[in-house]
Chains A and B, each alone.
Chain A
Amino acid sequence: MRYSGWMPLVWSTILILSALPPALYAQDRNPYAGDPQAAEAGKSHFRINCALCHGLGARGGARGPDLTRAQKRHGNSDAEMFRTIHDGVAGTDMPPAIGSIGVEMKDQEIWQVITYLRSVQVKAPPPTGNPEHGKALFYGAGGCSKCHMLEGKGGRLGPDLTGIAGSRSIESLVESVREPSKQIVPGYQTVTVVTADGKDAKGCLMNEDRFSAQVMDTSEKILLLDKDKLRSFQKSPVSLMPPYTASALSDKDLEDILGYLLAVSAK
């Protein structure tokens, strides 16, 4: 009973903390849960701070995942979503909300955004693709790994797809397979050059400025080019990736590949 003298103080502290407003528990519980006015305010904050990547209706886009899905990659609870928005996600494009450019929200505004997201949440059907078959296609008949890397294995000419299913909507992934030229990821634009000595090269534009360009050709060789020394330098809006139409890749096979990408992303 050494500490018996402290017990009244401990209990009174617990009682005082219990009586404090919910703001003190900001990291654990949404004080606006189910409040339609907060959801409406959250919708505006979402549009201003989040929609650039996640789309105006939170259904995801080419840069951010669909947030109407009940299953969130970095946690489904209110507290986990708060942390994801407040702190950002290391190793991804998701910035913290406390920066002063682009994404900037106070705690109360983050909770309003979470309230909004709960209001538009839908129970998406679980992915039906067969990841095992998808993996076989990815590294085999589908030919995906010739240009795309996954968990360190595969080609370099296309984007690394290791975390892609967690950071983009399924619709945008399907579009990238069926119509790859519709939206080309920066760093993968097709470019054709003719050097001063008349040699042709084709590849992906890794980077450029007004005076120079860095290109990966189709054999994965990196070409370092001075633009003023080239005979021609042509960028193309057509992706190096061929369009995989339904006749080249059935809907079922595509679903299996997406199932595999989702399984890898969820690791």
Chain B
Amino acid sequence: MRGNANMNRLVSRSMVGLALGFSAVSGYAQVTFDRLVNSAKEPQNWMTYSGNYAGHRFSALTQINTQNGATLVAKWVYQTGAPGDGSNGRFENTPLVVDGIMYGTGQDGRVFALDARTGRPIWHYERQSPRDIRPCCGRVNRGLAILGDKVFFGTLDAHVMALDAKTGHVVWDVTAADYAKGYSFTVAPLAVKNLIIISPAGGEYGIRGFVDAYDADTGQRKWRFNTVPETGQPGHETWEGESWKIGGAPGWVTGAYDPATNQLFWTTGNPSPSNRGQGRAGDNLFSDCLLALDADTGKLNWYFQFTKHDTHDWDATEVPVIIDTGGKHLIVQANRNGFFYIVDRTTGKLLSATPFGTVNWSHSKDAEGRPAADKDTEPTPEGRRMCPGAAGATNWFSPSFDPQTGLFYVNANETCDIFSTAPQKYEPGNAYYGSAYFPADDSPGMGAVRALDPLTGQKKWEFQHLSSSWSGLLSTAGGIMFSGDAQGNFILLDARSGRALWHFQTGGEIHSGPMTFAVDGKQYIAVSAGSAMYAFGLP
């Protein structure tokens, strides 16, 4: 009878809960690794940066679809409190939602938990950064990882932190690197098993990059993979002299994970200095690479380098996307250098590379089929026009893969820059570019959502933006997808045709990846814009 009595009490509590409207959030459970692996079973939640380990940024939710998408309305708005003009960096966060609670990061060390139904804050944490931090591209942060009862993030002064998910209290705080030398964290970490995977930014400061794994319970570092090999390690021979010590290759965008093989796929950024090859002759491994690492040990299984000896700032820090189809195990990436790469996930061998944007740097392929750089592409004193420009044909903002349409979506930007030499002496902590670059007078300066066949790289449709867009993309089983633009529009497209079905003016440039979740049986779409988080739903 005790059981019955307990059951009665449970029923009674549930009834009260329903009456008070908190039934949806009363069932908060720990976020286990098993839940992260099987995230498709709970589409109401969004538990990793890209929605799943494969990097798809796709949701199986269907309540909002092609039939009713045009009726979407704003449900709530949350202001982070950071300047909305981007002067402290853009609001680049993709939030997580677990069991009715939204967790996100804002600019300048802000972390928050919200009631995902209303946007009302539950807790807020703000970390004071040292006055002399110098993150290259704004005081930004792209999000959190969640595991157990903690959320994890990296700071602008190169700390890794764990906060209690229910209160926002600091659980642990470890220093990963010296911020005074240009190291910072902007990436959303990835939780794998009991490890928190994270990698720094700082390719414009002559850092030496790494990928780290921390014990989620204690903050103890379990392994580090140095993305620039030291003396005696494979790949070291691709650096001239001592240049490897300040070789860059940061990993500032969240990677993917394949539970079947326990492989972590992480990408790396430009070699340092970012725009000058003199002094670092060689391929400069493992800059601009896709790395396949053993998730338990950080051991390198294979690598694929997209751009050898990069002098145009073409970081490979775009989300790699895992696709399994027809017995093929692929990993694909729309790379900043303008090519869409299809790589065999088992061997690391390139299967194809096809331009998806304007490219003038490569007119041939090497023996492996990789686009090879033309002879004269380096910056010159007078300036050399190269396409894409330094910001790339795409950048860190997330693509999306829709398994229903079978299409890969990417925001592609058409830009060309003039690259002019500007040699700099390395000084620890100082900017270290080595050249100047500005938009060419004839730079198209436009952007478009492009739908690609991920098995061939061929374009199926495009939706043109007025200018370059730095918005990530989201697709759903409702047959729809979302993009944002630089003019502040949040836009719903038919995922099969690219036809615009709805848009909303947010009042702030969209520099983030949209996501979706459901609470109390209602689906929401969320996106960061300006300095505010918006949630949309059906009327």
Contact = CB atoms under 8 A, between A and B. Distances in A.
Contacts of A45: 422, 424
Interface string B395-438: 00000000000000000000000001111110000110101101
A209 B485 contact: yes
B529 to A, nearest CB: 13
Contacts of A209: 466, 485, 487-489, 505
A28 to B, nearest CB: 22
A207 to B, nearest CB: 8
B325 interface: no
A210 B499 CA distance: 13
Contacts of A211: 489, 503
Interface in B124-157: 134-139
B431 A104 contact: yes
A44 B435 CA distance: 8
B89 interface: yes
Nearest to B503: A211
B362 to A, nearest CB: 26
Contact of A210 (B423, B424, B430, B489): B489
A51 B134 CA distance: 21
A51 B418 CA distance: 12
A247 interface: no
Interface string B254-268: 000000000000000
Given A99-B87, A209-B485, A51 B135 contact: no
A211 B137 CA distance: 30
Interface in A101-149: 101, 104, 106, 109
Given A52-B438, A104-B431, A47 B420 contact: yes
A209 B137 CA distance: 25
Interface in A27-86: 41, 43-45, 47-48, 51-52, 56
Nearest to A228: B500
B436 A100 contact: no
B370 interface: no
Given A210-B489, A211-B503, A104 B138 contact: no
A220 interface: no
Contacts of A101: 89, 137-138
A208 interface: yes
Contact of B134 (A56, A100, A208): A100
Nearest to A207: B487
Given A41-B425, A56-B420, A100 B503 contact: no
Most buried by A among B421, B436, B464: B436
Interface residues of B, number: 32
Contacts of A106: 430
Nearest to A101: B138
A100 B138 contact: yes
Contacts of A43: 422
Nearest to B424: A44
A99 B500 CA distance: 37
Contacts of A104: 134, 431
A46 to B, nearest CB: 8
Interface residues of A, number: 19
B423 A44 contact: yes
B282 interface: no
A109 B464 CA distance: 41
Interface in B34-90: 87, 89
Contact of B422 (A48, A208, A210): A48
B274 to A, nearest CB: 11
Most buried by A among B139, B422, B425, B491: B422
B465 interface: yes
Contacts of A51: 420, 436, 438
Nearest to A53: B438
A104 B487 CA distance: 26
B235 interface: no
B348 interface: no
A40 B228 CA distance: 30
Contacts of B135: 100
Interface string B450-464: 000000000000001
Given A100-B137, A106-B430, A48 B489 contact: no
Contacts of B219: none
A144 B439 CA distance: 31
Nearest to A46: B422
A180 B500 CA distance: 36
B422 A44 contact: yes
A139 to B, nearest CB: 34
Interface in B195-214: none
B452 to A, nearest CB: 21
B431 A210 contact: no
A100 B423 contact: no
Contacts of B425: 41
Nearest to A105: B431
Given A100-B134, A100-B139, A104-B431, A210 B87 contact: no
A41 B424 contact: yes
Given A41-B424, A43-B422, A44-B423, A210 B466 contact: yes
Contacts of B435: 47-48
Nearest to A43: B422
A109 B430 contact: yes
A48 B425 CA distance: 13
A208 B430 CA distance: 39
A100 B488 contact: no
Contacts of B464: 210
B296 to A, nearest CB: 36
Contacts of B500: 210
B503 A210 contact: yes
A37 to B, nearest CB: 10
Query: Which 7 A-B pairs have CB atoms at the shortest separation, nearest pair first?
Result: A209-B487, A47-B422, A44-B422, A47-B436, A48-B436, A52-B438, A48-B422
Given A56-B436, A210-B466, 11 more contacts: A47-B436, A48-B435, A51-B420, A56-B420, A99-B87, A109-B430, A209-B489, A210-B464, A210-B465, A210-B503, A211-B503
29 contacts: A43-B422, A44-B423, A45-B424, A47-B420, A47-B422, A47-B435, A48-B424, A48-B436, A51-B420, A51-B436, A52-B436, A56-B436, A100-B134, A100-B135, A100-B136, A100-B137, A100-B138, A101-B89, A101-B138, A104-B134, A104-B431, A208-B466, A209-B466, A209-B485, A210-B465, A210-B487, A210-B489, A210-B500, A210-B503
Interface of A: 41, 43-45, 47-48, 51-52, 56, 99-101, 104, 106, 109, 208-211
Interface of B: 87, 89, 134-139, 383, 420-425, 430-431, 433, 435-436, 438, 464-466, 485, 487-489, 491, 500, 503, 505
